[in-house]
Structure 1
């Protein structure tokens, strides 16, 4: 089945302009890093324009939300954390990949804006979505740091002159901080979904695809944190579990929403 974009009726210059500008700024940042090794101004510009794009999508009547806006917010949160970390660790090197991901995320949110949120929906829905997306952002940041760890380990083993920009132990410490915070938020997200399922979705809590994958992700991260505390798990074992948990989480919400919104063309 061909994927058909679903531009919302309220698409306007206010929605399109910051999204297109953010994509261009992200692409400029990625190009600048690859060619010249720096792109701070472009990244800050893309960050601000991306925020305007998110505000336009979420607050223009009627507000829309779905898998692509969730991924877009996740990408923005990742860049926010990166820009903060760069103040502490100026040699942190992830600008190119984050800029590329940001451009793709903004484009997806523009093409697939999701379903409209009506005023009749539960007051618990904004909290549930905010907790879920925040946990997405933290786990995504953990994946980025896991990737930086993997790249640093390879360069160390190959005795590359271009060594890691940040010490390996520092990257590992930041990764586990993201996992810890993300785990707390994911737990809160699942609890809100369980306790207020009827108000949120109009039916009792049930084990659908989204819930099963989210619970599997929760279990993977719980085992990782327990193994870290009891057995000192680190290195490749830890990064592989971060990747596995993040994939489960991605399949849980974004994956199920993608199938419903795009492949089946149904709102959820």
Structure 2
């Protein structure tokens, strides 16, 4: 797969089909060999090509920003399903009770000068620790009418997410912020329908083996803080308690070995019900999902 992707990159062909390959330019062999050498030295394929596929999108990748993983596509799916369900229910309600002032699906949110939601006809979705924005952009792409806010601490990540949102024509509000700040997104307190996050969660003594991760993904996106790596994920849980509306959905990625600990952290808040672990496509415990209590 990498060999074909690198050949396509050298030829400027996004999706190279070998049976229909274009004529090779005279300098192809040298350019291709240079790309292969970079990959042999374990530079991430996505850094070499500058792009990666995530669900239905081709996203930009740059050094200094976490490379989205296929496992996180399943996390995005749960958030997308929850937002879609809300949109569907709201649309039905608007048909049955057209005079009802509650939300209906299909239009963007109305906010005041502080950023607070005044009226949101679609689902209000927040993606914390968004990195380059993969989850937030996918929600905006796949849930019509959703009002999506993405928050990232890294300036490089913020710039990348904003750039892709503009390039793809997706309505995502991208903000710089630290999930550990108690006042983060205070204007949305109690107004969020779906809060999703793929925070850093690796413990300090669990240094990744793969050079592509260890040597190229930024530490800020990998290590979650504290002896167990769950300092930042616990901050995400606290933010979810504050931001989610009653009945809102919480989705957060974690490491396979952290499932029980994360469920316990979510339960300890007393703010959630239906707390459970969802596996990824390989059957590994991948995320916690819970519902905000009334």
Q: TM-score, normalised by structure 1?
A: 0.31
Which structure's relative contact order is higher, taking Cα pairs within 8 Å and 6+ residues apart?
A: 1
Q: TM-score, normalised by structure 2?
A: 0.29
Q: Larger helix proportion, structure 1 or 2?
A: 1
Q: Larger strand proportion, structure 1 or 2?
A: 2
Larger radius of gyration: 2
